[in-house]
Structure 1
Amino acid sequence: MDNNPPGPYRHRRQAGDPQSAQSALSGYLRSNAINARAITRGHQDRIQAARDAFATAQITANSSTQNVEKDEDEDEDDEDREEEGSASPSATTTISTTEARKRRRKELRKRKELRDMHKIKMTKQFKKRVASRLPLYTDEDVLARQMLREQEKERRAIADFMPGQTENCEICQQRFTVTPYTRAGPNGGLLCTKCGKKLADEEDGKKKGKKATQGPAGRRKDHRKKQAGGSFGIGTKSLVTLCIETLAANISLADSFGDLPFMVIDRIARMLSKRRMMNAHTLELFLQHQPEDVRIYDASQLEQQDYLRIFQVCPKLKHLKLYNAIQFRDEVMEYLIGRDFTLESLYLAGANLLTEKGWWDYLKVKGGHLKSLRVYFTDQHFNQGVLQALQLFCLSLVRLKIYHNQQILDSQLEHIAKIPSLRHVSLHLIKPTTTCTYVYIIQHLGKNLETFSIRMVPQVGDELLEEIHEKCAKLTKLRITHSEVMTDAGFTKLFTGWKNKPLKVIDFEKCLPMTDETPQENADTVGLHASGFEAMMNHSGSKLKKLNLHGCRHISGDAFEAVFASGKKYPELLDLEVSFCEAVTDLIVGLIFKSCPRLEKLNVFGCMRVSDVRVPRGKILIGLSNAKGMGIQGTED
């Protein structure tokens, strides 16, 4: 039985049948009048014609001796004309197509050569060769084409070797592995990495040598920076200093400090803190020998566990100093309370996360043994409650310093006056204070007081100076800054007939009226003037080590000349600050150097009359604004 469908689909074959595909293709060619055999013969004729043309071109290229490209074109043209008369139409078409392809390839080669020459002209090597050899070439294209040929020669030389194989260097004969970046030698061989780099440096005109160090201008800049910052030392660095700097630079390789003395370890701690390298790893080096004194000058990278580690490892800890103790919280203070040792000295800076309750709990339990408490920039919770705890529990406290506090009020300072054991008091409060409060402190503590320092007290007047004159007899350091009320008569009365021994440190910075309208006029003689200055030097000049007169512009030049006159000596004075004292001149600076044989540093910022001074050897003059620089180290004998 016939299973094919009736009608026009009766003779349709299944898909994939070869006879069906052949019949379909033949039907398509017949319907479009296409002769498949003619197409095949034409394709074979074109291939044969191309082969004949290529063979003819090779013969012509080998026989030409001059102007290869021109002769090749002429021969091809002659052959094309001969073939045009005898060749078949299909061969003529094939030859025309071949000529077009040849011309196209020739144009592409010329364009590529022009691009490569343009790239060569943009290189530094080409510009240097042009500058050195331009008289030999009237056209830069000649030199660019020559350099292009040299590059092609080098590429062909390298192309003969495969990356990964080993060859001998043309110059040093050392065996090396060839890479795609291997450089060709001048005689066609290959160069190793070292010789290739040397050849490249010679071609580029680079001088082989050591890396240039910092120039004189940079060294002078660092030199002045150290002088102005107060960290400059006279002469060469000691062997201990060099060793400390080397150790700080390679602290990651250190396992232990061994038996180094405490002062050297403290200098190492300062160096590491300056370089921001104090962390949990370096902290272990300072705790290995269970010291009694731990000083960390940058604790910003330490966490609570690091502080607990200190208290765990050091069972005999007595003195603790922490700068930037940001993570010193109540939990740390609670752990410290639970330890069986007691601190004698506590120095905290920046511990604003420590609450009033934490302070109170610690002082209540451990405050009886505390002898020194210094708190810097810790003002969030250090307030009246903490002062009350100091009064109640710290009966052995000798030194108290509160610096840059924003919480304590003027009336709350009376708690300090009720700590009879205090010998050193230093206060710097942001909120305004009055004279009566400080007078009250002097009345109760002045008899045994050795240090009295108050900063930023614009409203404190002569009554405080009178009370100091009456009550204080053991002071060695006196600092009163930014007072706009104290007068020259008060300073003169303070130092005249004062039963106190000579002071070692005096700081009267910016004790002057702060008026913008008439700064030179001072009818009320507010601030330190000539009389007070002379009385001060007569009383304390023999033992004075540090004197700060910054901004005391009402001291006259005659007073300076009289105090530092020829024949007067101040043998202990090491540091003198006379910045913005307008009367200071070159003569006065010279007298200061002669009167102070041990003087190390003299600051003259803002002294416009100081211009050209001979600085003795071993002394430093800072603040001189001239061509010599801001800081000058003495060289005069």
Structure 2
Amino acid sequence: MSNRRTGGNRIRGPHSALTDFLAANNISAAQIRDDYTRRRQQTEGEDAQNETADADADAAQARDDEDAAAAAQIAAEEEAAEKTRKRKRKEQDTVAAIKKSKEAAKKKAKKGRKGKGSDDSDEDYDNDEFTRDMYKKARPPPGQLENCEICNKRFTVTAYSKTGPEGGLVCTACGKELAADEKAEKKKPKGPQGRKRRKVESDRLDGFITHGAKSLQHLCIQKVAEHHQEIEELGDLPPTVMERLSQIFTKKRVLDPRTLKLFLRPDLNTIAVHDCAKLDEDDLKQVFAVIPNVENVILAHAHAFKDDVMQYMMEKATHLKHLHLYTANLVTDDVWLKFFQERGPQLEVLKLKDLDSSFDDEAFQAMVSNCQSLQRLKLKSCRRMGASSIQGLASLPAGTLRHLSLHTTQEVPPGVLVSLIQHHGPHLETLSLERFVDADDSVLATIHEHARHLRKLRFSDNDLVTDAAYASLFASWANPPLHTIDLSSTRDIDNNNPTGPEDSPVGLASAGFTALMAHSGPALRHLDVASCRHISHAAFAAAFDPADIKCRYPELRSVNISFCNTVDTGIVAGIFRCAPRLEKVVAFGCFKIEDVSVPRGITLIGVPRAQDAIERVGEGIWGGKGGMEVLEPAGGLMGFPSVEVGA
């Protein structure tokens, strides 16, 4: 054991031939590893130097290739441009040669036909556009390269590439510019006045019609409304101009707390805000704080007009005489009672509309008891107003109330209306009864018997009163001729029999219309018989017969004959000739009106099939002055075009 430990505990065994050879030649493994490491490091250094040299050579070669490619591209573009110029010159020379040969052939043919009276024109070949199309270059297929006609930029042709002015293709950027120019060209207003057609149609349907140039006042009002954000105050404008500005601001929906201040002046006695939708309670209170002496208050769409505002108005507006409120639904009945008790005795005009949840019979009775000085009363779409409320109107003084307008949604027996008309009828100048569906012939008989000073009569939306009652109303009526008549939508409603009963027509029909025109025709200004579909063609023709010298309506301004199916072109032409002061004719749904000549100064609204042959007629038809001038067909609003014809 000791001998083993002294030997270093080394294991000895047999040697291979390679081991013996390496030991005999004094070669060790460490020497082999060192030699290998040295050679590898040397090789890596040489490879790095070679790679650097190769990279420099490649970069130089790439620059040379790029310069060569650019030069080749420039040369190719120049060659293509030169080819294009040569092609165009060749085409021009060819076209010139063809023209020259044609002219020579024509001269030769002319000499051959001389003295024969033949025509010298040659329409089959004398066409420059046809010649250009023959030699026009074909459009290159998509994917090919082409030079832009405008900027000469190289681009790839696609299926959406646009054609330039000279017939060539243009790049995307130039194509967008061309499209923008075409769009701007289409947007240019047509006509001598240059007004937008939609704006004109909107003004007509709103009842604002102008012929010829606009007045300076109207232009200033439009400019003020257009730049309302930059205006600090309106100054001392008259009330009529302020009213018109308020209407325009309402239409443009720009009446807000900032613009409201433009209409508030301490020296005013009238405030008219036709759109209070963007105003809150504080804004409405500000109206009465700034204008302490206000007498006339007109607030439409006053959704924020609540009890607090009403009480504030009672405190500040001590001179209130005229109150016009629309959609003030949040005022409670108790506050209405208090208002009529405090301010009712001084009220002269009261107009309430669209009251859904307030103003019941008790408030109505408070109004009748306290408002004994009312001269004008208008209650429209007050849903809680029933028969008892209307019956209470008989308690108002008989000689004070002059204008009465009622529109109800509840059932009202005919006897209630009869007693009301008997009480107030002899002194009324305006009587408007809308949507009294239960009214019968007795109501018109009472009007005929008691009304003696009426100037305006409206009795619409009824399907019970017969045509005989209308004829009896106007026959031998002691009332003077009416200025305004509205009998619209008085007809029989039966889908199985749309023409109505033949023996006794329901609603305004031929006999009633004839009696109406005979009674009120000389003084009539506004006539509305829309949807009175039982009036015959013969009745219209007899009323508007231009051959009858007695058939003249010198005061007639507007006529509404919409949805009267028997009205045709001849009837409308007769209306034009029988009313020398006529301004507007509304004829929606009259599809028999086709080719009509509209006199100068008259507006025809709602005739979609008459636009293909609309003419503006001067005084030549009647007086020999002027003549006819054909106008372009006018577009319309919501599918119903209208035509304004005037100087």
- The alignment's TM-score, normalised by the length of structure 2, stands at 0.70
Task: Decide which of 593, 598, 618 is 1:615's aligned counterpart.
Answer: 598
Pairing of 1:403-414 with structure 2 (within 5 A)? 403-414=380-391
Alignment partner, residue 245 of structure 1: 222
Are 1:460 and 2:439 matched, yes or no? yes
Are 1:555 and 2:563 matched, yes or no? no
Contact 1:61 1:68 in 2 (8 A): no
Task: Decide which of 455, 458, 462 is 1:483's aligned counterpart.
Answer: 462
Cα distance in structure 1, aligned partners of 2:574 and 2:329: 48
CA 397–141 in structure 1, closer or farther in 2 if over 3 Å, else same:
closer
Alignment partner, residue 312 of structure 2: 335
Alignment partner, residue 570 of structure 1: 553
CA 340–258 in structure 1, closer or farther in 2 if over 3 Å, else same:
closer
Cα distance in structure 2, aligned partners of 1:553 and 1:137: 64
Q: Which amino acid aligns with 2:592?
A: R
Q: Alignment RMSD, CA only?
A: 3.6
Alignment partner, residue 368 of structure 1: 345
Task: Decide which of 285, 307, 311 is 1:308's aligned counterpart.
Answer: 285
What is the Cα deviation at residue 216 of structure 1? 4.9
Pairing of 1:432-511 with structure 2 (within 5 A)? 432-511=411-490
Pairing of 1:96-495 with structure 2 (within 5 A)? 211-212=184-185, 213-214=187-188, 216=190, 219-220=196-197, 222-339=199-316, 341-420=318-397, 421-495=400-474
Contact 1:201 1:207 in 2 (8 A): no
Alignment partner, residue 535 of structure 1: 515
Cα distance in structure 2, aligned partners of 1:468 and 1:136: 81
Cα distance in structure 2, aligned partners of 1:66 and 1:320: 85
What is the Cα deviation at residue 255 of structure 1? 2.0
Cα distance in structure 2, aligned partners of 1:575 and 1:53: 97
Q: Structure 2: any 5+ residue segments left out of the alignment?
A: 1-29, 74-134, 148-152, 155-171, 612-633, 635-640
Post-superposition CA distance 1:298-346 (Å, at most 9, x none): 1111111111111111111000001110100000111122226231000
Q: Secondary structure at the match of 1:377?
A: strand
Q: Secondary structure at the match of 2:449?
A: helix
CA 440–135 in structure 1, closer or farther in 2 if over 3 Å, else same:
closer
What is the Cα deviation at residue 54 of structure 1? 3.8
Post-superposition CA distance 1:399-428 (Å, at most 9, x none): 111111211112321111211132211111
Cα distance in structure 2, aligned partners of 1:560 and 1:519: 19
CA 612–291 in structure 1, closer or farther in 2 if over 3 Å, else same:
same
CA 313–224 in structure 1, closer or farther in 2 if over 3 Å, else same:
closer
CA 41–543 in structure 1, closer or farther in 2 if over 3 Å, else same:
same
CA 40–68 in structure 1, closer or farther in 2 if over 3 Å, else same:
farther
Contact 2:514 2:539 in 1 (8 A): yes
Contact 2:500 2:534 in 1 (8 A): no
Cα distance in structure 1, aligned partners of 2:603 and 2:589: 16
Alignment partner, residue 45 of structure 1: 46
Cα distance in structure 1, aligned partners of 2:65 and 2:578: 101
CA 204–305 in structure 1, closer or farther in 2 if over 3 Å, else same:
closer
What is the Cα deviation at residue 232 of structure 1? 3.5
What is the Cα deviation at residue 36 of structure 1? 5.9
Q: Which amino acid aligns with 1:603?
A: V
Cα distance in structure 2, aligned partners of 1:535 and 1:410: 31
Cα distance in structure 1, aligned partners of 2:533 and 2:327: 35
Q: Secondary structure at the match of 1:381?
A: coil
CA 140–415 in structure 1, closer or farther in 2 if over 3 Å, else same:
closer
Cα distance in structure 2, aligned partners of 1:397 and 1:534: 36
Cα distance in structure 1, aligned partners of 2:495 and 2:432: 27
Q: Which amino acid aligns with 2:425?
A: G
Contact 1:447 1:473 in 2 (8 A): yes
Cα distance in structure 2, aligned partners of 1:537 and 1:66: 96
CA 575–430 in structure 1, closer or farther in 2 if over 3 Å, else same:
same
Q: Which amino acid aligns with 2:469?
A: G
Number of paired residues?
496
Moved over 3 A (4+): 33-43, 54-69, 132-144, 199-212, 214-232
What is the Cα deviation at residue 210 of structure 1? 10
Alignment partner, residue 642 of structure 2: 631
Post-superposition CA distance 1:209-229 (Å, at most 9, x none): 994334659955554454345
Q: Structure 1: any 5+ residue segments left out of the alignment?
A: 1-29, 70-112, 114-131, 145-149, 152-198
Cα distance in structure 2, aligned partners of 1:141 and 1:504: 77
CA 581–39 in structure 1, closer or farther in 2 if over 3 Å, else same:
same
Q: Secondary structure at the match of 1:41?
A: helix
- The alignment's TM-score, normalised by the length of structure 1, stands at 0.71
What is the Cα deviation at residue 437 of structure 1? 1.2
Contact 1:456 1:483 in 2 (8 A): yes
Contact 1:248 1:272 in 2 (8 A): yes
Alignment partner, residue 21 of structure 1: none
Contact 1:492 1:536 in 2 (8 A): yes
Cα distance in structure 2, aligned partners of 1:324 and 1:281: 18
Cα distance in structure 1, aligned partners of 2:376 and 2:265: 29
Are 1:604 and 2:605 matched, yes or no? no
What is the Cα deviation at residue 500 of structure 1? 1.2
Q: Which amino acid aligns with 1:377?
A: D
CA 37–366 in structure 1, closer or farther in 2 if over 3 Å, else same:
farther
Alignment partner, residue 184 of structure 1: none
Contact 1:605 1:624 in 2 (8 A): yes
CA 48–315 in structure 1, closer or farther in 2 if over 3 Å, else same:
same
Contact 1:323 1:349 in 2 (8 A): yes
Alignment partner, residue 564 of structure 2: 581
**627-636 or 52-61, which deviates more:** 52-61
What is the Cα deviation at residue 40 of structure 1? 3.9
Alignment partner, residue 23 of structure 1: none
CA 222–253 in structure 1, closer or farther in 2 if over 3 Å, else same:
closer
Contact 1:615 1:634 in 2 (8 A): yes
CA 58–490 in structure 1, closer or farther in 2 if over 3 Å, else same:
closer
What is the Cα deviation at residue 530 of structure 1? 2.1
CA 48–441 in structure 1, closer or farther in 2 if over 3 Å, else same:
same
Q: Secondary structure at the match of 1:412?
A: helix
What is the Cα deviation at residue 542 of structure 1? 1.6
Cα distance in structure 2, aligned partners of 1:274 and 1:205: 37
Q: Which amino acid aligns with 1:256?
A: E
Cα distance in structure 2, aligned partners of 1:138 and 1:469: 85
Cα distance in structure 2, aligned partners of 1:529 and 1:563: 13
Cα distance in structure 1, aligned partners of 2:201 and 2:248: 20
Post-superposition CA distance 1:549-588 (Å, at most 9, x none): 1111222222222222221211111111111222222222
Contact 1:614 1:634 in 2 (8 A): no
Post-superposition CA distance 1:563-621 (Å, at most 9, x none): 22221211111111111222222222111111111111112222232211111110111
Contact 2:359 2:385 in 1 (8 A): yes
